[in-house]
């Protein structure tokens, strides 16, 4: 039992999100004695955990303190129990654990007021009374107990002054930034130095500052500083954008009840327990308890697009006890206590009780208004704040997509480690050489002088070699390309934002949805995909449901033929004539049915008119659809949670049972032709209970009362679930309907069974008491509700079944066929029945009759016989053995078939039950081996978890690169499990998109995403990485050869600034141009020859063989550059007749090196644009400008005027022409030989189309863009504005002013709105605007 101490009604304390403790009844009476005596007493207080003593505290004081844990980082003490509150701040105890230290308040107030909202969770509640701050000793294990606390106490009438106290963290303020002013540098640098390459260069920079370094520290510090600066600026810019979003959100205004008046306060000032008013089209600033609204019967309508992307309106209903709190005067009288769950991220569940006027009323998600949702069709609502800030459900769902690294990036790490190995070997050779070379016989080097330094002492060769090892480490450090990561990140970012996001070939005009790259880390991974795991509904199909056929009392109605039926007939060699609809056939969205036998009242003449009537009433009553608009069949609009429900209600309307109005307790149906043909009457059905659909129940039921008092339960759901709950008898209808279900499934239709049950008043009342009790339960409410539902959902009478068609998306068969030619294997993972899944697979050309098919199903006679016995242990054992035998047999057949018919294709179909056993560790390998031999795999009746398990099986077990694509929340786990996740912006919301790496609007866009952008990104990144490897190795090897002529002393060959700017300026820009503009064939040829994609699957361009060949050319070219310059300089003199010195020769060598590596880049390119010429020419020009300026400034290093000396000699010009030509001649011969005798696939395609003009993708985009109308052009421009790419997007998934902010930056007109969500608006379908020619 929880005790509340009543006292002064002045609300002398107010805390946001606080937690309290519970004491025993004895201590409660002790406390009252203390209050009455008002004198100093000494007593012991025990903190009790459900009656068990866990912590003992001894203390004395004048009056007790109440200890509670909150969310602030300080302690609040209210010292005046008898007067107005005063607040003092105390620093937290140093010895408290982190869980406690994050916010513990001591409230000295013995009078807890009854006029408040008190929030607590299901876990045990605690009170503790302690006597003074100074004498309290809190043990270490106390923090563990505090972690379980959930008591939440808040006052309504008084508020903390958050603005002046700076305690915004106690309110509704949110922060999505990664850094602040104090943490930016340390945290930002920590993030950068997590990269091995940056950490390596930090070590080299430190080492270059020591005496062993032969180079100036600036040589390594400058490039590292530039790289870090660019990275930190990028981080700061992204975080600044997040900060602006946060400010916009936190400063949004909301009306709060204060002193019986509505006052406007910013969102960040909102506190738990506040009473707020939200007007129509406004957004809920926090998670609110819905108290009252302006609509009748306490109903309001909300849109949850910001949470899950669904634009269908949802209904929320306030408790009848709170309907009157509409005005400020009435709302100020609200007094109550709320018991609720701890903050969590479950958007669709909520458990709690409202205790008001000594009544306990159950709370459910129907009374919860979540932050981020918007109010529709309601003037305003009144709500009480339950969760604020980061404890709101939407913010707790705002999490990072799992971090993914591309396969190529992981291989890059191996290449970097290989370079480390090469560097170590070079340093080791130099160290050994210096140890051998150092000798006192070289007296002219001063090696016999006394007081030699340690690195020059011939008597300690080991120390000389060791020190020289560090010297050479700094000298050869450029072998690791420091600018590689920054260049690759920049290239990937531009590829994502400018190419993928702006590709009009992947722009869906109908829904105004462009492609969206939510991450740039996986661009090249798109070019190496070998396995695609796809959902069916909404991914391969349109998820636009149409009522197509039905079965009533064993009779099939509906004359249409589906696409899949036509495809099946064509496969069988049969010719199917298209069915012509009657002239009176009705066709509207959601209804594609034609059968005169039951249309326009003709059902009255059928053999079972009563069953027809029950069928239609079940469609019109058993649902949660909301009607909108005028109450006429032509103008009404249905807002449904799923397109299936909308299609069923639309069907009922066209059958003459028009659902037109809903209240919280009734449904109104306009029934036609019931009593006689032409008679129309409005009938009100009282809705007593709604047993909602969920993934576990797989059914939905409604208990209703007819006007004549008849009690009926209508139920609709999956056939397997309904058949288990049917009454005995009626086997003929059951068997006939089952046959019809199989026929509908074979035609690719989605089926539901309909049933009903008549209830007696007594039986219903007894059941309803149990139902109310379960609904009021705080623990395991969902489980108890399911158990109670089982008690009434039995002995059902089968009415019939419905069949809804979900057509294939446009271009799906052609897309799958193209991807299959590209070497990509496609698996379909769906929850539909096996027959439906197989026919969909046939329709989209995933499976054909030429394939050898293996079927592993649990729907066999033997398994059914075992299941009929009901022994779960026997069923599990038998199923496991059966699946094992089927897998073994199928695998043996597959091996035999492939050996006898090489090149043939296999297909595997397996259902969810068998898959559950096949994924067992003992059978997993057998399943994997069989699956990898198949070109197509169809898994049906699978759960979301099984989808993720299958994806992980191939990803980890076979180590193949995988892609998952889906459009619903049930696909999220599969999307996150794959290497690359693709979400479809479909009809099932945006949860799949929010969890994905890339988002597209249609499945067919995979062709462009993979075969065009994926291939190009892979090719570009491979060339960028290998070129970095080549140019840095070439540069370092010239320094390495010079070491042999300097006695391995570590003497540098190049000037420090040459080494510093080599990667940053002189060779940086051309490689970025390759990463942005390189392509072997254009987009049209990439899709025309999908076999080119196999080069990425085989990783043709980033194998160790490619790296080794480049290393050999680096070795060759470094020898050419070094030896040509060195040998020729020994016989050359300057214009004054003097021999060239070190700096003359090294400048000449560096000059030849810069020209050689830049020209080598052009030889690597298959496409050379003006940007290549500008970047290569600009890099060489930048070198000459630099050397003219640098050598023109006097320095004591001998570099002064060196370029002017060289340019006065013929030696300079001969070397400038000869060295690059000789160095690149070997590459020229190799590339010609390779192209003639061992060509790549893309080179063959290039030769086939070498005389055709190349139409660049940019030109293609421009051409398409010119075909758009101004309206479509603006829609695309707005839709491709920056959107969410991580959790840092302000208000969870969308931000107010976000679109308008970036639109203004890009000069696009997008007026400021209360909540700019371009993508959400794009979800609303609109008529397609014809393009202009």
What residues act catalytically?
535
Closest CA to 69 of 150, 164, 168, 184: 150
The three-state secondary structure class of 707 is: coil
How many Å apart are CA 1295 and CA 1284, to the nearest integer?
Answer: 9
How many Å apart are CA 776 and CA 364, to the nearest integer?
Answer: 9
Q: If residue 282 lies in a helix (H) or strand (E), which one and from where to where?
A: none
Residue whose pair of structure tokens reads 């050379």 in the numeric block? 1168
How many Å apart are CA 655 and CA 672, to the nearest integer?
Answer: 8
Question: By the 8 A CB rule, do 716 and 618 touch?
Answer: yes
The three-state secondary structure class of 184 is: helix
Q: Report the DSSP beta bridge partners of residue 796.
A: 726
How many Å apart are CA 227 and CA 1072, to the nearest integer?
Answer: 15
DSSP-derived pairing of the beta strands 531-534 and 825-829: parallel
Question: By the 8 A CB rule, do 147 and 99 touch?
Answer: yes
How many Å apart are CA 1327 and CA 1319, to the nearest integer?
Answer: 17
Longest dimension (CA), the chain: 126
Question: By the 8 A CB rule, do 345 and 368 touch?
Answer: no
How many Å apart are CA 838 and CA 732, to the nearest integer?
Answer: 28
The conformation of residue 603, written as its DSSP 8-state character, comes to G
The count of other CB atoms within 10 Å of the CB of residue 290 is 24
Q: If residue 981 lies in a helix (H) or strand (E), which one and from where to where?
A: strand 980-984
The conformation of residue 441, written as its DSSP 8-state character, comes to T
In degrees and rounded to multiples of 5, residue 1303 shows phi and psi of -65, -40
Question: By the 8 A CB rule, do 1156 and 1224 touch?
Answer: yes
Question: By the 8 A CB rule, do 512 and 1001 touch?
Answer: no
> What are 1206's two structure tokens?
């060289």
Cβ-based neighbours of 365, under 8 Å, separated by 6 or more: 348, 349, 350
How many Å apart are CA 377 and CA 389, to the nearest integer?
Answer: 26
In degrees and rounded to multiples of 5, residue 756 shows phi and psi of -145, 170
How many Å apart are CA 204 and CA 161, to the nearest integer?
Answer: 53
How many Å apart are CA 500 and CA 1017, to the nearest integer?
Answer: 10
Question: By the 8 A CB rule, do 700 and 622 touch?
Answer: yes
> What are 1156's two structure tokens?
């050689």
The three-state secondary structure class of 827 is: strand
> What are 1096's two structure tokens?
């990425």
Cβ-based neighbours of 736, under 8 Å, separated by 6 or more: 551, 554
Closest CA to 974 of 858, 838, 831, 840: 831
The conformation of residue 465, written as its DSSP 8-state character, comes to H
How many Å apart are CA 327 and CA 790, to the nearest integer?
Answer: 42
Closest CA to 933 of 1010, 839, 851, 814: 851
Question: By the 8 A CB rule, do 255 and 269 touch?
Answer: no
For the chain, what is the total number of helices (H) and then of strands (E)?
45, 43
In degrees and rounded to multiples of 5, residue 1100 shows phi and psi of -60, -35
């Amino acid at each position: 039992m929880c005790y509340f101490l009543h006292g002064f009604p002045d609300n002398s304390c107010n805390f946001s999100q606080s937690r309290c403790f519970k004491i025993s009844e004895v201590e409660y009476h002790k406390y009252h004695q203390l209050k009455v005596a008002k004198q100093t007493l000494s007593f012991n207080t025990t903190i009790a955990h459900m009656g068990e003593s866990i912590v003992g505290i001894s203390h004395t004081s004048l009056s007790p303190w109440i200890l509670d844990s909150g969310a602030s980082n300080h302690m609040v003490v209210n010292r005046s129990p008898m007067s107005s509150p005063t607040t003092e701040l105390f620093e937290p105890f140093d010895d408290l654990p982190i869980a406690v230290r994050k916010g513990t308040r001591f409230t000295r107030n013995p009078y807890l007021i009854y006029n408040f909202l008190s929030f607590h969770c299901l876990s045990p509640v605690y009170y503790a009374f302690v006597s003074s701050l100074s004498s309290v000793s809190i043990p270490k294990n106390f923090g563990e107990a505090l972690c379980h606390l959930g008591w939440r106490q808040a006052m309504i009438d008084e508020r903390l002054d958050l603005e002046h106290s700076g305690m915004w963290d106690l309110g509704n303020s949110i922060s999505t930034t990664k850094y602040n002013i104090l943490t930016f540098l340390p945290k930002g640098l920590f993030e950068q130095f997590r990269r091995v390459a940056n950490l390596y260069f930090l070590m080299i920079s430190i080492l270059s500052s020591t005496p062993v370094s032969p180079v100036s520290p600036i040589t390594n510090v400058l490039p590292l500083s530039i790289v870090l600066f660019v990275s930190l600026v990028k981080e700061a810019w992204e975080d600044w954008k997040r900060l602006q979003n946060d400010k916009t959100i936190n400063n949004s205004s909301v009306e709060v009840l204060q002193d019986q008046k509505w006052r406007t306060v910013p969102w960040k000032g909102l506190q738990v327990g506040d009473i707020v008013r939200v007007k129509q089209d406004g957004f809920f600033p926090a998670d609110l308890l819905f108290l009252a609204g302006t609509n009748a019967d306490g109903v309001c309508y909300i849109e949850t697009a910001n949470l899950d992307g669904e634009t269908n309106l949802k209904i929320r209903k306030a408790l009848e006890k709170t309907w009157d709190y509409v005005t400020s005067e009435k709302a100020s009288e609200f007094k109550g206590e709320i018991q609720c769950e701890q903050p969590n991220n479950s958007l669709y569940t909520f458990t709690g009780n409202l205790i008001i006027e000594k009544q306990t009323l159950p709370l459910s998600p129907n009374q919860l208004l979540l932050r981020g949702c918007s109010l529709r069709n309601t003037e305003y609502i009144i709500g009480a704040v339950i969760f604020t800030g980061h404890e709101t459900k939407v913010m707790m769902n705002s999490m990072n997509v799992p971090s993914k690294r591309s396969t190529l990036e992981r291989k890059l790490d191996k290449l970097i480690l290989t370079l480390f190995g090469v560097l170590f070997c070079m340093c080791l050779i130099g160290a050994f050489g210096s140890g051998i070379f150092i000798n006192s016989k070289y007296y002219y080097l001063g090696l016999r002088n006394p007081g030699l330094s340690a690195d020059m002492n011939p008597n300690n060769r080991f120390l000389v070699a060791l020190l020289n090892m560090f010297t050479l480490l700094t000298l050869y450090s450029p072998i690791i390309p420091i600018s590689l990561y920054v260049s690759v990140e920049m290239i990937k970012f531009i590829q994502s934002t400018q190419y993928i996001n702006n590709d009009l070939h992947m722009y869906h005009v109908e829904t105004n949805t462009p492609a969206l790259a939510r991450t740039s880390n996986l661009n090249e991974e798109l070019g190496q995909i070998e396995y695609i795991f796809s959902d069916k509904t909404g991914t391969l199909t349109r998820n636009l449901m149409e009522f197509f056929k039905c079965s009533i009392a064993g009779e099939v109605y509906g004359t249409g033929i589906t696409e899949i039926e036509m495809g099946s007939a064509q496969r069988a060699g049969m010719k199917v004539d298209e069915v012509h609809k009657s002239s009176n056939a009705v066709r509207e969205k959601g209804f594609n049915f034609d059968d005169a036998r039951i249309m326009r009242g003709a059902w009255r003449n059928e053999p079972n008119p009563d069953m027809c009537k029950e069928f239609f009433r079940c469609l019109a009553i058993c649902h949660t659809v909301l009607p909108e608009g005028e109450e006429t069949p032509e103008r009404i609009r249905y807002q449904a949670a799923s397109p299936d429900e909308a299609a069923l209600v639309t069907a009922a309307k066209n059958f003459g049972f028009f659902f037109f109005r809903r209240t919280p307790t009734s449904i109104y149906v306009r029934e036609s032709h019931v009593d006689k043909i032409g008679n129309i009457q409005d009938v009100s059905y009282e809705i007593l209970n709604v047993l909602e659909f969920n993934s576990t129940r797989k059914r939905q039921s409604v208990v209703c009362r007819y006007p004549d008092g008849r009690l009926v339960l209508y139920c609709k759901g999956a056939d397997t679930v309904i058949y288990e709950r049917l009454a005995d008898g009626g086997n003929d209808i059951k068997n006939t309907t089952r046959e019809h279900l199989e026929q509908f499934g074979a035609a690719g239709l989605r089926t539901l069974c309909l049933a009903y049950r008549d209830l007696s008043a007594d039986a219903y009342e007894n059941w309803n008491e149990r139902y109310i009790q379960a609904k009021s339960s705080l623990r395991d409410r969902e489980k108890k509700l399911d158990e109670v539902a089982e008690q009434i959902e039995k002995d059902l009478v089968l009415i019939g079944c419905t069949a809804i068609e979900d057509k294939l998306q446009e271009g799906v068969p052609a897309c799958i066929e193209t991807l299959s030619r590209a070497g990509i294997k496609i698996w379909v993972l769906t929850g539909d029945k096996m027959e439906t899944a197989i026919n969909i697979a046939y329709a989209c050309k995933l499976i054909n009759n030429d394939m050898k098919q293996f079927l592993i199903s649990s729907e066999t006679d033997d398994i059914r016989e075992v299941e009929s016995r009901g022994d779960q242990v026997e069923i599990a054992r038998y199923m496991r053995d059966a699946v094992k035998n089927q897998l073994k047999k199928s695998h043996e057949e597959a091996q035999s078939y492939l050996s006898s018919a090489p090149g043939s294709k296999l297909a595997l179909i397996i259902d969810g039950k068998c898959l559950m056993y096949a994924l067992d560790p003992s059978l997993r390998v057998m399943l994997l081996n069989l699956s990898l031999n198949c070109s197509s795999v169809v898994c049906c009746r699978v759960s979301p978890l099984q989808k993720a398990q299958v994806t992980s099986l191939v990803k980890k077990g076979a180590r193949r690169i995988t892609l998952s694509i889906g459009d619903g929340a049930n696909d999220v786990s599969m999307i996150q499990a794959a290497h690359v996740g693709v979400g479809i912006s479909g009809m099932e919301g945006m949860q799949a998109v929010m969890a994905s790496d890339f988002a597209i609007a249609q499945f067919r866009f995979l062709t462009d995403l993979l075969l065009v952008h994926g291939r190009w990104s892979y090719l570009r990144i491979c060339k960028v990485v290998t070129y970095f490897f080549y140019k840095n190795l070439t540069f370092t090897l010239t320094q390495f050869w010079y070491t042999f002529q300097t006695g391995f002393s570590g003497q540098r060959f190049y000037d420090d600034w040459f080494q510093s700017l080599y990667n940053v300026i002189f060779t940086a820009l051309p490689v970025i141009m390759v990463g942005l503009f390189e392509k072997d064939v254009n987009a049209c040829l990439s899709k025309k020859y999908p076999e080119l994609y196999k080069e990425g699957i085989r990783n043709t361009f980033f194998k160790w063989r490619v790296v080794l060949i480049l290393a050999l050319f680096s070795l060759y070219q470094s020898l050419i550059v070094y030896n040509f310059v060195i040998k020729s300089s020994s016989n050359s003199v300057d214009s004054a007749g003097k021999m060239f010195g070190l700096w003359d020769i090294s400048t000449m060598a560096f000059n030849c090196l810069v020209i050689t590596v830049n020209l080598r880049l052009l030889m690597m390119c298959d496409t050379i644009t003006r940007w290549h010429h500008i970047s290569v020419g600009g890099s060489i020009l930048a070198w000459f400008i630099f050397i003219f300026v640098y050598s023109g400034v006097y320095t004591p290093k001998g570099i002064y005027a060196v370029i002017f000396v060289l340019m006065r000699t013929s030696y300079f010009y001969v070397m400038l022409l000869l060295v690059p030509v000789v160095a690149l001649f070997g590459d020229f011969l190799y590339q010609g030989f390779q192209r003639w005798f061992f060509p790549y696939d893309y080179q063959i395609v290039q030769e086939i189309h070498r005389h055709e003009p190349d139409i660049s993708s940019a030109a293609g985009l421009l051409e398409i863009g010119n075909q758009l109308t101004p309206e479509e052009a603006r829609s695309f421009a707005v839709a491709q504005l920056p959107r969410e790419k991580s959790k840092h997007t302000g208000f969870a998934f969308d931000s107010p002013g976000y679109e308008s902010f970036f639109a203004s930056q890009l000069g696009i007109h997008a007026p400021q709105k209360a909540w700019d969500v371009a993508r959400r608006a794009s979800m609303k379908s609109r008529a397609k605007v014809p393009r202009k020619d």
